[in-house]
Chains A and B, each alone.
Chain A
Amino acid sequence: MKPSVRNLMARPEMAALLIFFALLVVFSVLNDRFFTTGNMTVYLQPIPEIAIVAMGITILIIAGEFDLSVGSVFGLSPMVTVLLMQNGWPTAAAILVGLLIAALIGFGNGLITLKLKIPSFIATLGMLFMARSLAVVLAGGFPPIFPRELNVSWLVGRLDLGLVTPRVSLLYMIAIALVLGFVLRRMDFGHWIFATGGHPQAARDMGIKTKRVKMACFMLCAALAGFAGIIQSFRVKVIVPNLGTGLEMQAIAAAVIGGVALTGGVGSILGAVVGTLLIAMIENILILSGVNANWFMFAVGAMIVVAVVLNTQTRLKAEGMKG
């Protein structure tokens, strides 16, 4: 086997990609309503929102930390944005403040984790409750009415691609993925992220400010979650304080299926996107086939296990081969 093939097989998102294309074929054959323009449009609808959260989580996990509070931030950011718009703020400024609040939550996560040396799992579990509570308190019992007349087409309008008409947010997702992928693979800061999560002491001894790197990742992860929440609330034109409840599990599942290693230092942006596509595809086929929706969790759980096992096996194989 050529070294190039071996390197390809060793890539973290390899297993997810294989499963994705396999299931795409299987589902298309099993159900003739699956690979239709109408269904693909429906299928792609929520993808950007989950994928953007999964990308942020992926980067943070590569850096060796964790964030359970993304679902709550996903609800808090649009809550802030919509409330500000209701008070007459221009859309751009309201969104900016929503994102800043998200980044601030990320900063808080980083501060608790890095300064007080609490595991990020615990720190962000606390933040999950606090941020959610803030969203509920801000809503004040009566969730604010989303301004119906607001022009949201620049963010979630229909993109007429002829066959499918996904939302504009898909373009934002692709742009974010390209930028983040570039940062991770081609920029020195990306190398520092991998080094920080892959071997913290080596990174520190080589002069990398690992705490700063992690802090940046905490803030980026939270800001992305906030942005994803704004996209969703703009898409459904509703803001409720429980928006994004439980989303952290889906996003983490997507990241893990996409090949991120919880030990840090391994993972990819493409993996986060493919992981998201996979989870949504399972949900889609279950609904389409009229299967009891309660099987969704079972299917996602099974896929996590299968993807991780497959991942471990391909990587071991790739390592075992000498070129």
Chain B
Amino acid sequence: MNVAANPAPAVEEPIIKCVGLQKWYGAVHALKNVDFHAARGEVIGLVGDNGAGKSTLIKILSGVHTQDKGEIFIEGRSVSITGPEVAMGLGIETIYQYTAMVPEMSIAQNFFIGREPLKFGRPGFGIVDREKMAREAMEGLRGVGLHLRGADTPVKALSGGQRQGVAIARAMHFRSKVLILDEPTNHLSVKETNKVLDHVVELKGLGVTSIFISHNLHHIHPISDRIVAMARGEKIADLPASEISVDEMTRMIS
């Protein structure tokens, strides 16, 4: 996995750019004037101690929260991300640690939650195209090298790693430009973790930008082009991964 050796070419507008982001939760100042950018196909390792503000930053990007101050640009265009559906519409997909899947529902249903392909009608009042859902879900899964029994298997029957695989396949299917992964490898076995890391590397080859949060710097370092470190709501470092070692990273954020 020697990807960091050939960093993404620094071209054109950054696919995503944040300027002066601020966020308060009541009295807690969780983000203090944070600037952030990412280029097409770049893998960014976002690191920092507990409570540093990493999740807050990416929740703003994925539409779960909105910033109190600051501006976000997607491909140079100023956007206001007012909800998850807006973020997804802009090509920002998020993989959460808890895997945003409904256990009782099937793989195909989970693949298309909230974005069901319709045979008839309009979103919110439409008849779902179940054949298309099953077909495209299976195609999507094969695309990330997952070979599961069938699209109508309930997600509760899958392992944690398989669930993250489905989540990644889902993000890919919807042509994500930016993939955000917030501690996606927690609770996963070594083998499953490597699988998720491999996916990120593969996606980079397809021009997908990834923002990867993990407390395991050994996971982050080899696949990242750039390391962004946060502490107490501020960005404290932003530099190519080749210029910092895992040990230096550990010292910096602890």
Which residues of A are at the interface with B, using a C-beta cutoff of 8 A? Answer: 3, 7, 10, 186-189, 191-192, 194-195, 198-199, 201-208, 265-266, 319, 323
With both chains docked as a complex, state the minimum distance between the C-beta of B98 and any C-beta of chain A, in angstroms.
7
B103 partner residues in chain A, CB cutoff 8 A: 198-199
Count B interface residues, CB 8 Å.
38
A195–B128 CB distance below 8 A: no
B102–A188 CB distance below 8 A: no
CB < 8 Å neighbour of A323 from B63, B149, B154 = B149
With both chains docked as a complex, state the minimum distance between the C-beta of B36 and any C-beta of chain A, in angstroms.
21
B84–A204 CB distance below 8 A: yes
Return 28 A-B CB contacts under 8 Å, by A number: A3-B150, A187-B121, A187-B127, A187-B128, A188-B116, A188-B125, A188-B128, A189-B124, A191-B128, A194-B109, A198-B103, A198-B104, A198-B105, A199-B100, A201-B98, A202-B98, A203-B102, A204-B64, A205-B62, A205-B94, A207-B63, A207-B83, A207-B88, A208-B113, A208-B114, A266-B104, A319-B156, A323-B149
With both chains docked as a complex, state the minimum distance between the C-beta of B85 and any C-beta of chain A, in angstroms.
3
The 6 closest A-B pairs by CB, nearest first: A207-B85, A198-B102, A202-B100, A188-B116, A207-B84, A199-B102
Q: Which of B116-130 contact A (CB under 8 A)?
A: 116, 118, 121, 123-128, 130
- Cα separation A265 to B155 with both chains bound (whole Å): 13
A206–B114 CB distance below 8 A: yes
A195–B127 CB distance below 8 A: no
Closest to B117 in A: A188
With both chains docked as a complex, state the minimum distance between the C-beta of B192 and any C-beta of chain A, in angstroms.
19
A201–B100 CB distance below 8 A: yes
Given A207-B85, A207-B114, A319-B157 in contact, is the A194-B126 Cβ separation under 8 Å?
no
Q: Does any Cβ of A come within 8 Å of B152's Cβ? A: yes
Q: Which of B144-202 contact A (CB under 8 A)?
A: 149-150, 152, 154, 156-157
Beyond A202-B99, A202-B101, list 5 extra A-B contacts (CB 8 Å): A195-B109, A199-B102, A203-B114, A208-B114, A266-B104
A206 partner residues in chain B, CB cutoff 8 A: 84, 88, 100, 113-115
- Cα separation A199 to B101 with both chains bound (whole Å): 7
B157–A188 CB distance below 8 A: no
With both chains docked as a complex, state the minimum distance between the C-beta of A98 and any C-beta of chain B, in angstroms.
25
Q: Which of B63, B84, B102 is most buried by chain A, counting CB atoms within 10 A of its CB? A: B102
B84–A205 CB distance below 8 A: yes
Closest to A266 in B: B104
Closest to A182 in B: B127
With both chains docked as a complex, state the minimum distance between the C-beta of B136 and any C-beta of chain A, in angstroms.
15
Q: Which of B237-253 contact A (CB under 8 A)?
A: none
CB < 8 Å neighbour of B116 from A7, A191, A265 = A191
A7 partner residues in chain B, CB cutoff 8 A: 152
B98–A191 CB distance below 8 A: no
Given A202-B113, A207-B84, A208-B114 in contact, is the A189-B125 Cβ separation under 8 Å?
yes
Q: Does any Cβ of A come within 8 Å of B96's Cβ? A: yes
B100–A205 CB distance below 8 A: yes
Mask, B72-91, CB within 8 Å of A = 1, is 00000000000111001000
- Cα separation A98 to B130 with both chains bound (whole Å): 38
A188–B101 CB distance below 8 A: no
